[in-house]
Amino acid sequence: MKSFSQLMARPTGILCRLLQHCQTIKQLNKIFRISLSAPLSQHCYVANLRDKTLVIHTDTSLWATRLRYMIPELLCKWQQDMSMPTIDQVEVRVRPALESKHCPQAVNTVIDK
């Protein structure tokens, strides 16, 4: 059985790819939240990036609807931002918030260590 450090040492290993994906999601979430106004940015977060589809979770259908109206403007803005990967589509899903906080904050503490 391989140790954790051996698995992480291989740049093609699954754990390395998973860590890179988590870091990409964290960076996208940061850019995404900056792109939104204050009330909306507090109710949604980047959940995933699959192919060229950005998956966003919101905590209620109200915020999901507001975000859906903003998608064309956001896509246009992101196409001009060189730090953003190519995003052709945004998928918005309603995921009620956990009682404590959203999962991305928990993920951030793990990635930052």
| Number of domains the chain contains | 1
Whether pTM > 0.85 for this model: the answer is no
Chain segment 34-90, per-residue pLDDT in tens = 999 889 999 999 999 999 999 999 999 999 999 999 999 999 999 998 888 899 999
Between 92 and 101, the more confident residue is 92
58 within 8 A of 46, measured Cβ to Cβ: no
Distances (CA, A) of 60 to 42, 56, 89: 12, 12, 20
CA-based diameter of the chain, in Å?
A: 50
E-only strand ranges, 5-94:
44-50, 53-58, 89-94
Residues in contact with 77: Cβ distance below 8 Å, sequence separation at least 6, in sequence order: 35
E-only strand ranges, the chain:
44-50, 53-58, 89-94
Per DSSP, 113 falls in state -
